Amino acid sequence: MELDFERCYRAVDSRDQRFDGCFYTAVRTTGIYCRPSCPAVTPKRENVTFHPSAAAAQRAGYRACRRCRPDAAPGSPEWDARADTVGRAMRLIGDGVVDREGVNGLATRLGYTERHLNRMLTAELGAGPLALARAQRAQTARILVETTDLAITDIAFASGFGSVRQFNDTMLEVYARSPGKLRETRPAAGGEPGVINLRLAHRAPLHAASLLEFLAARTLPGVDEVDGDTYRRGLSLPHGTGSVALRAGERWVHATLRLEDVRDLAPAVARCRRLFDLDADPEAVDGELGRDPALEGVVRKEPGVRVARAVDGFEMAVRAVVGQQVSVAGARAALRRLLRGVSDANDVGDVAAVGPSPSPESSAASHTDPAAAVLTGFPSAQAIADLDDQAFGMPNARRATIRALAAAVASGTVDLNPGADRAEAVARLQEIPGIGPWTAGYVAMRAIGDPDVFLETDLAARRGAAALGLPDTPRALAEHAGNWRPWRSYALVRLWRSA
């Protein structure tokens, strides 16, 4: 991918944080690479080259700056939004697919040969899948070295390295320090054993209140909860379970992770970033939506509104099916009955799951209840598919749809993972009886991350449109929404808030 030198240099000279993660600055005279906002003295033009990824800079022989930590920059909004093969590959690499399945597994998921995939990624990102995964492993290892008391040998394998020697060589090459030296410079340990605390970078502004309000209205016992300015939820990860607490700050989202297996650190971080839409470019989104006089006021009043996405595609699809033509409160009650059915089927005896449905306000304090303190995530597709009919607690038609959805996801017929082909996922979903355009679109927006979904038949969207003086009939609203491309998902959230 070609980078415009003048545009990049101006961003570096002005230390523009908006470009962090979009490209990386390599300085020949120092042998380091930085994020554009690095506070160091701006290097001379003749000493600078620009790279589209940290892996590309590492491949060219540069090490990460210790001051600005470019490997911890937010992800590129381009790869986050794009639905093509490269965008899908980047999301799958972020989720740890190369570490678990190798480059062949990544290529198979995307439907290409390893050679062709390597060629595409190198052309766009300056590095192939192995180099991109290696850069991620190095960042994961640095986090574990600096935030845990795990043995260095354990960290090497937990980060995805094949040997301790490979681990040591990579850390020296990327950070110019051995793992032992990195650990010597970490802050004094004092955290809780088994807990990893880290900061997730994002591009300002971030309207955290809108995310928390949206999620608080939809919390489920044993799955997630909101406490003031903190969102907690359980995680189902490739090597086990975990949980996370997320609290937004001005420049960072503070994350506290509890993992059953530390090999799941990279996919857990990727899913948390996806959940809070942290790789979005809010200035680009708000700039486009703010051109519409009907949205100008709400954009100016609440800059940085994001789309609350998902850590579990199947969970989001079930939520969408249950939420068809019912209120948020009604959907929440039905989902609680479903979770109770899963609990009863497994003889778990989850007290929180069988109690009365709490309001968003009362759920804020639920973490103080020992019965609600353990968050394990949503049941798997196979667990739902195996339930008896009476465990669903809902009408027969909806039960049949959820059962068919669970079977399709469990068998791999429907792919709702972050690297799924969006168009194919929507088409496959609509092949399931009981799933139409609204449900499939909602899943595409929140589970697969499509930034340009619009649900013109959605009642709350039409109410929001009317409140803003926009046409509120589906056809007229859909026509007007064409002005909001390619950010119609974000416009939809604005309409929901206006309703």
pLDDT range class, residue 372, cuts 50, 70, 90:
very low
CATH label of the domain that carries residue 123: 1.10.10.60
Q: Does residue 339 fall inside a structural domain? A: no
Which residue in this structure is represented by tokens 């027969």?
396
Lowest mean pLDDT across 96-110, 190-204, 222-236, 415-429 = 190-204
Which residue in this structure is represented by tokens 């798997």?
380
Claim to verify: residue 19 and residue 95 sit in the same structural domain: no
Claim to verify: residue 41 and residue 128 sit in the same structural domain: no
Claim to verify: residue 32 and residue 81 sit in the same structural domain: no
Q: Residue 14's domain spans which residues?
A: 5-54+61-67
Claim to verify: residue 173 and residue 114 sit in the same structural domain: yes
108 contact partners, CB below 8 Å, separation of at least 6: 101
Claim to verify: residue 9 and residue 87 sit in the same structural domain: no
Q: Does residue 326 fall inside a structural domain? A: no
Q: 151-177: per-residue pLDDT in tens? A: 999 999 989 998 999 999 999 999 999
Claim to verify: residue 42 and residue 122 sit in the same structural domain: no
34, 65, 68, 272: the active-site residue: 34
Over 70: is that where the pLDDT of 401 sits? yes
- Known catalytic residue at 34: yes
User: Among 36, 67, 98, where does a domain finish?
Assistant: 67
pLDDT at 190: 52
Q: What's the predicted TM-score (pTM) here?
A: 0.88
Claim to verify: residue 84 and residue 163 sit in the same structural domain: yes
Claim to verify: residue 45 and residue 88 sit in the same structural domain: no
Q: Does residue 180 fall inside a structural domain? A: yes
**What dihedral do alpha carbons 210, 214, 215, 216 form, nearest 10°?**
100
Under DSSP, is residue 210 helix (H, G, I), strand (E, B) or coil? helix
- Known catalytic residue at 458: yes
User: Among 158, 184, 210, where does a domain finish?
Assistant: 184
Q: Does residue 316 fall inside a structural domain? A: no
Q: Does residue 209 fall inside a structural domain? A: no
CA-CA distance, 93 to 157, in Å (whole number)? Answer: 17
224, 264, 286, 458: the active-site residue: 458
* DSSP-derived secondary structure for 238-296: TTEEEEEEEEE-SSEEEEEEEESSGGGHHHHHHHHHHHTTTT--HHHHHHHHTTSHHHH
396 contact partners, CB below 8 Å, separation of at least 6: none
Claim to verify: residue 42 and residue 104 sit in the same structural domain: no
CA-CA distance, 214 to 315, in Å (whole number)? Answer: 16
Please give the tally of structural domains in the chain.
2
pLDDT at 366: 39
Cross-strand partners of 233: 224, 244
Claim to verify: residue 81 and residue 168 sit in the same structural domain: yes
Claim to verify: residue 101 and residue 160 sit in the same structural domain: yes
Claim to verify: residue 167 and residue 102 sit in the same structural domain: yes
Q: 186-236: per-residue pLDDT in tens? A: 665 555 767 899 999 999 999 999 999 999 999 999 999 999 999 999 999
**Pair 358, 216: CB distance under 8 Å:** no
CA-CA distance, 151 to 262, in Å (whole number)? Answer: 12
pLDDT range class, residue 349, cuts 50, 70, 90:
very low
CATH label of the domain that carries residue 34: 3.40.10.10
Task: Give me the half-sphere count of Cα atoms (radius 13 Å) on the Cβ side of residue 401.
Answer: 23
Q: Does residue 120 fall inside a structural domain? A: yes
User: Among 184, 204, 231, where does a domain finish?
Assistant: 184
Q: Does residue 296 fall inside a structural domain? A: no
Q: Does residue 207 fall inside a structural domain? A: no
DSSP state at residue 360: H
First CA to last CA across the chain, in angstroms? 42
Find the angle CA(28)-CA(29)-CA(30) to the nearest 5 degrees. Answer: 95
